[in-house]
Structure 1
Amino acid sequence: MASDDTPTRNIALLIDADNASWHAIDPVLTVLAELGTVNIRRGYGNWSKPALSGWVNMMIKHGIEPQQQFDITKGKNATDMKMTIDAMDLLFRGRVEGFGIMSSDSDFMPLATRLRQDGLPVYGFGQAKTPEGFKRACTRFIDVDQLLAAEEESRKAQAAPAPAIAEPAAEPVTPAATPSEPVVFKKPGMIDDELVKLLIDAYSAVKRDERGFVSLSAMGQLAANRSSFDVRNYGYKRLSDLIAAVSNFQTERREDGRVFVRRTR
């Protein structure tokens, strides 16, 4: 059963840009919403390197604070040291309740181990080639290539109608569209395809009940964790009003007043 008890912990995401793919930042933020809200977002690297240029737009899009580290001595990685120092500072301030470390570098194994010794969850994000030591030091380690593959499958599924779900009682459901039909909104021009994708990704990441519904608040937190999402930017006062205006979803208010959402296509 979907729960309305969404986590509210303060989470820090530290990114080793030299050893992390910017393509995976969207699904990484979605996964971290399991822990809470990613209020601290920092990316570390020498931004004069052409190889890191792909991170620039992601930094702006997701409000990630760039941390410049020059390559003063060849073969020495100041980025790893700066990330570790910052993580320990955040730990001892006592305001962070969980960490995400985005890197495929085994040098962060001692850091993950130390953070966990204080009882904080540590989610690691890297490629399959990441050394086992760092993987095992994390509370959870997530293969970013698998995250990207799952997201690609989700994109493909968006064009297909959602499977029919048996109902204990008849309810009006918006008819499913064929894959070739464009997305239709009750208020044309207010909502774009990028927002629809964000909402569908958030819905897909939330645990569903036996009828395929998810908690609206949990879905909203996932969406907000991944972007500077605000319903007022689309002309609505409440998230429930915006969801009701998107033909891809059906909303249901239950006896306790909570709103639940189901994807209809």
Structure 2
Amino acid sequence: MMNINENKRFALLIDADNAQAKAIDAILTEAARYGDVTSRRCYGDWTNTRLGSWKTVLNKHAIQPMQQFAYTSGKNATDSALIIDAMDLLYTSKFDGFFLVSSDSDFTKLATRIREAGLEVIGIGRRLTPEAFRAACNKFIFTETIMDENPADDAKKPAKPIATNATVSKKADNAVVSTSQTDKNIQSTKIANPSKDAILKKLLKEAIESASEEDGWANLGGVGSYIPRVDSSFDPRNYGFDKLGKLIRSLDYIEVQQKNIESGSNIYIRYKDTNG
């Protein structure tokens, strides 16, 4: 998890066409962990009745609705408006970072550009968000994860797969799923047994090897710093744990040891299975 810094100022830009109104409470709670959200904007064609569920949410949280008419069928003018405003806000030099709330890969270049300017980019969207957009962000948070009220309890239940019969939009990347179908079908996808997750196992093995000392033990802090650089969407809450240390202790292929060093006591970990 990234460190909380109350002095950081963020702009929150929401793509209403590819975000869920019901997720905003959880999104704002999550955003508060990183700093002060001083600009809140939500983009869409508000003449479209499909976005009617946003009205109450926007008023409740003082989020500014940014009107963008759909001039041509099949063209997303909303994306362009959000990108232009993001660049205007970037050049004001008033912000330390941006929250981009969308599951649309069209914002990949925007995230890359903001990071090139030295600012933090935190993406928030669904698990179906294309990998390119997720990787372009410093951190990517799944709405399914932060909307779960009891992650520890959910981790004890069998994982439920994401539905595969969702309606796909006509966007070129074919990654945006219609809101109505997705809301009905996407459910908690936490891993019931993290020790059996091959992707997690490979990621942790690489992280430990990168941060390990001569004796093969790696500082947990070093491992935690390495992981987001490789997988921006990694979050221990995806596995039902609120902290990386708790997730690590649940894994049967990781050894945990507390070492006393000059600077104090630190947690070190080691990969058990050297045969991979």
Q: TM-score, normalised by structure 1?
A: 0.55
SS in 1 for 2:69: coil
- Alignment match, 1:124: 123
Cα distance in structure 2, aligned partners of 1:155 and 1:30: 20
CA spacing shift, 1:121–1:60, aligned 2, 3 Å: same
One-letter amino acid of the counterpart of residue 100, structure 1: F
By how many angstroms is 1:6 displaced? 4.5
- Alignment match, 1:91: 90
- Given the alignment of the two structures, is residue 73 of structure 1 paired with residue 72 of structure 2, yes or no? yes
By how many angstroms is 1:92 displaced? 0.7
Cα distance in structure 1, aligned partners of 2:67 and 2:5: 34
- Given the alignment of the two structures, is residue 110 of structure 1 paired with residue 113 of structure 2, yes or no? no
Cα distance in structure 1, aligned partners of 2:7 and 2:35: 5
- Given the alignment of the two structures, is residue 42 of structure 1 paired with residue 41 of structure 2, yes or no? yes
Q: Would you say the 8 A contact 2:30–2:146 is kept in 1?
A: no
C-alpha distance after superposition, 1:51-84 (max 9, x if no partner): 2111110100000000011111001111100100
By how many angstroms is 1:126 displaced? 0.7
- Alignment match, 1:64: 63
**Which consecutive residues of structure 2, in runs of 5 or more, have no partner in the other structure?**
155-241, 244-276
Q: TM-score, normalised by structure 2?
A: 0.53
Q: Would you say the 8 A contact 1:16–1:102 is kept in 2?
A: yes
C-alpha distance after superposition, 1:194-215 (max 9, x if no partner): xxxxxxxxxxxx99xxxxxxxx
**Which consecutive residues of structure 1, in runs of 5 or more, have no partner in the other structure?**
157-205, 208-265
C-alpha distance after superposition, 1:161-198 (max 9, x if no partner): xxxxxxxxxxxxxxxxxxxxxxxxxxxxxxxxxxxxxx
Q: Would you say the 8 A contact 2:98–2:119 is kept in 1?
A: yes
Identity of aligned residues (%): 47
- Alignment match, 1:28: 27
For 1:2-21, list aligned pairs within 5 A: 6-21=5-20
Q: Would you say the 8 A contact 1:35–1:98 is kept in 2?
A: no
- Alignment match, 1:196: none
By how many angstroms is 1:27 displaced? 1.4
Cα distance in structure 2, aligned partners of 1:25 and 1:152: 18
Cα distance in structure 2, aligned partners of 1:152 and 1:82: 37
For 1:196-215, list aligned pairs within 5 A: none
By how many angstroms is 1:153 displaced? 5.3
Cα distance in structure 2, aligned partners of 1:102 and 1:8: 22
- Alignment match, 1:256: none
Q: Would you say the 8 A contact 1:103–1:124 is kept in 2?
A: yes
Cα distance in structure 2, aligned partners of 1:152 and 1:65: 31
CA spacing shift, 1:155–1:28, aligned 2, 3 Å: farther
Q: Which has the higher contact order (CA 8 A, sep 6+)?
A: 1
Cα distance in structure 2, aligned partners of 1:119 and 1:87: 14
Structure 1 vs Structure 2 CA RMSD: 2.2
Matched positions, count: 154
SS in 2 for 1:11: strand
Q: Would you say the 8 A contact 1:135–1:141 is kept in 2?
A: yes
